[in-house]
Structure formats: structure tokens, C-alpha cells
Homo-oligomer: A and B are copies of this chain.
């Protein structure tokens, strides 16, 4: 793979861990960033990754993170933005500050990370920035306005960046993850095999996108289990 160092933001168990392992296996150096890195120690050790605590919704925190990465010769040429926050409920019962946080974490923080990354990628005309979306990125569900706002905004960012930065050599991709992801807390019932997305399988599609030559780039890819309604 034609990349060297991947930064995964919103790293925690689940998809981020699968992505980190798959990218490490492909030979990349891995950097993990999350609000809290306590739970990342075992993974970081396993794949020899560095981990950084960072509240990506704060511009100053994102600046500091990238400054430290530059200083450590770990400036990423792959960035995967994987963080989100949501609050659910009837529209009239939502807590405004929770709604604000949903937009901040799911979209504004993604902008901050993507901007810092793009500043470093553009001079070399090389790099990739991948965003993790959801069903809510393209369909606003009842009782879930905050997630729709955050994920629609993230998709708008990704599409605008694709139009602007692809012709400058930066691969921008947006994944629509449509369905639940299997985890320790969420397992498949035996009468519905493969009804949850396997995070390792998702990671293989991210790897494929990073492998695409620039004459055939995907901007958007949907992934869902075979039995998922859509």
C-alpha cells in the first residue's frame, strides 16, 4: 500500500480496532487518538501503535495533536475519522446541549481533523482521508434528529472535500455503514447468522479504497449485512 502512517480518530473497541489491525498488517504505522486512551493500551501494544488523548471537537486540541505528530515524525498520510456522538428521543424532549454535542463530535470535529490533515497532505499532493458514516447519513429517521444532523453534515463535508481535494491528489472517501456492528456487547443470534456487520469485514473495504489507484477512486461506498432492510 502506497501509504506510511495512519491516524485513526475516535479509536476505541470495535471498528477502529479492526481498522488499526488491518492497516498495521498492511505495513502502516498506526496512531490512535481518542478522548480517552485508557482502553487503547492493549491494542496499542499489540500493533506497536502510539496513542494520544485528544478532544477533537476543540481546535486547540487538534492543533496540539498534529503538532506532536509532526514532531514525532508521525505526520499521517492516512486519516480515518471514526468518532460520533448521538442522543435519541422525541424531538421535543431532546436536550439542546446534547444535540449540539452530537453535531460537534460527529461533524465539526471531523472538519478540524480533516483540515489539519489536509494542510499536511496538500504540499505533497498525497494522502487519504476517510469518513465513517451511517444509515443516518442519507436518511433522517424519526426520534433521531441529532444523529441525522451530525451525519448529514459529515457527508456534506466529505462531498465538498472530495470535489475540492481529489484533483489535488487527496483521496476522500465516505462510508455508509448501514446496520449494527458486531461487538462483545452485540452478538448475532443463531437464527440470523451474519446479521451484524463484522468490523474486520468493514476494514477490508477501507483497505480496498486505500489500495485504489487515482484513476479509479471511490468517493462513497455502502456496506450492510445481507439481511438488512434498506
Contact = CB atoms under 8 A, between A and B. Distances in A.
A153 interface: yes
B220 A225 contact: no
A100 B145 CA distance: 19
Given A198-B215, A201-B215, A226 B96 contact: no
Interface string A25-56: 00000000000000000000000000000000
A152 interface: yes
Interface stretch (A5-13, A66-74, A77-85, A135-143): A135-143
A157 B139 CA distance: 10
Nearest to A171: B226
Interface in A97-134: 97, 99-100, 103, 107-108, 111-112, 114-115, 118-119, 122
Given A140-B157, A160-B145, A163-B230, A215 B204 contact: no
Given A115-B91, A205-B216, A226-B214, A149 B145 contact: no
Contacts of A225: 214-217
A211 B99 CA distance: 32
Nearest to A94: B115
A90 B160 CA distance: 10
Interface string A193-230: 01111100110110010011111111111111111011
Interface of A: 59, 90-92, 94, 96-97, 99-100, 103, 107-108, 111-112, 114-115, 118-119, 122, 136, 139-146, 148-167, 169, 171, 182, 194-198, 201-202, 204-205, 208, 211-227, 229-230
22 contacts: A90-B164, A96-B112, A111-B145, A140-B156, A140-B157, A142-B160, A142-B163, A144-B160, A145-B164, A150-B156, A152-B156, A167-B226, A167-B227, A194-B213, A197-B216, A198-B213, A201-B212, A201-B216, A204-B212, A214-B225, A214-B226, A217-B225
**Closest CB pairs A-B (n = 5):** A152-B156, A140-B159, A140-B160, A148-B156, A142-B164
